[in-house]
Each structure stands twice: as C-alpha cells, then as structure tokens.
Amino acid sequence: MHTDEQIYPFGKTLLTGVFAGIVATVICLFYNILYRDATGFTLSEIINVSSLIFGVNIVFLVIGLIYSVLQRFFKMSTLIFVTVFVLITLFCLWQAAGVHRSADYEVSEQFRGLLSGVIVIMGICSALLMPFLFHYKKFEEFLF
C-alpha cells in the first residue's frame, strides 16, 4: 500500500522495531540451536524457543516505542538511541557474567555463554539494525 502522505514516525518506528525483532528472533533461534549442539547444554527452563520468540519480540516492540519517543523529542535521536543501547547491552553483558544458573560450574558457564550470545544479538539488532532500517528508504518502500 503506497500513499503520497507522509508516513507517521510512530508507525514507522513501531514497524521497524517489529521487523528488527523478527530478525533478532530468527538469529537468536539459530544461535540457540548451534550453541546447544556445540556445548551439549540441555537446560531449557529459562532460555528456550518460546521465551526467545515471545521475549525478543516484546522487547523489540518496546525498543520501537523508545525510538519513537526519542525521534519525537530529540534532534540527535539516532546518536542518543545508539549510545543508550550500546550502554544497555554492555551493562546486561556485565550482569550476565555473574549469573549462577546451577551449582554445577560447567552448567553455569554454558548458560552464561548462551545468555551472553542472546544479549549480544539483541544489542546489535537494537543499536545498529533499528536506526539503519528506520533511515533506509528501500525498507520504507517495502513496509508501505
């Protein structure tokens, strides 16, 4: 559906967040499969297919809303957004380094590796993919 009217930034950022969330979800699912095959990590009560599909997409919906607010109120919104989400990613990685999933050291290390990978994927998709897609004209044509 193509219109000559100006696309509203709220809708554009929200759809960009949803699309980036889908991309991040697919990458996280592949990472989950590859990581579990490589390490033999079997615990799936916290990070599993369902939590990745729903959790990542809900997080990216919120990220789209945050990007919309920044677009509306700040002139250098993209720079602020990228900086904030790089810092959030680094903070989450720092916190993930101290997670104790099990009394077994090896299981805790494997869980930290899986969790850190998911955080990095989400951080890259939020800090880099969101602004790139938002400003990419071909993506806008694809959406609308």
| Contact assessment for residue 83 and residue 45, using Cβ atoms and an 8 Å cutoff | no
> What is the enclosing helix (H) or strand (E) of 29?
helix 9-39
| Positive/negative CA dihedral, 84, 90, 95, 100 | positive
Nearest in space to 125 (alpha carbons), one of 93, 91, 82: 82
- Residue 137 falls within a domain, yes or no? yes
pLDDT recorded at residue 4: 42
Output the CA–CA distances (angstroms, integers) from residue 56 to 64, 90, 125, in the order listed.
12, 17, 11
Looking up tokens 């980036």 gives: 20
Let me know if residue 1 belongs to a domain.
no
Segment among 25-39, 66-80, 96-110, 128-142 with least mean pLDDT: 128-142
Q: pLDDT of 9-62, one tens digit each?
A: 788 889 999 999 999 999 999 999 999 999 999 988 999 999 999 999 999 999
How many angstroms separate the CA atoms of 140 and 132, rounded?
11
Does residue 47 form part of some domain? yes
Q: Evaluate whether residue 86 is within a structural domain.
A: yes
Domain extent for 45:
9-143
- Domain for residue 2, yes or no? no
Average pLDDT, the chain: 90
Tell me how many domains the chain contains. Answer: 1
